[in-house]
Amino acid sequence: MPSRTATEENSTAGAVLAAPWRIEAVSVLPNHRLALTFRDGLVGVADFSAIATAANPGIYAPLADLDFFAQVKVELGALTWPNGADIDPTWLHESLATDKTWAVTF
């Protein structure tokens, strides 16, 4: 069953997340994929499966482990993982606005 994480609205007191490109919710899908919902209603799937064969993924290396990958959270409108890795929500929004599925390259 996919897990779903909503934005932690109260993670920073007084923060206003009005930008349409901020991520509102994420669901973990099979095979290193994430279903995303943005504040403006845009939805799409980000495919991170390339992490499994990346030659030099740097800070993203732990994401190759499916259990670690599933620890994704939305913090202040961005995808984050426990090791400090994050993905720019503006970049994701722009990519998913034209194609509902986007493959992340490492």
Domain ranges of the chain: 4-103
Please report, for residues 5, 16, 88, 104, the alpha-carbon distance to residue 34 in angstroms, rounded to integers and kept in the order given.
11, 24, 14, 11
The CATH class of 4-103 is alpha beta
Render pLDDT for 60-70 as a digit per residue (tens, 0 to 9). 999 999 999 99
- H-type helices in 19-99, by residue range? 66-69, 89-98
Tell me if 23 sits within 8 A of 77, measured CB to CB. Answer: yes
Question: Quick one: pLDDT band at residue 27, thresholds 50, 70, 90?
Answer: very high
- Structure-model confidence comparison of residues 10 and 30, the more confident one: 30
Please report, for residues 32, 44, 60, 64, the alpha-carbon distance to residue 49 in angstroms, rounded to integers and kept in the order given.
5, 15, 12, 8
What pLDDT is stored for residue 2 in this prediction?
55
- Model pTM score: 0.80
What pLDDT is stored for residue 43 in this prediction?
96
Closest CA to 19 of 72, 75, 77: 77
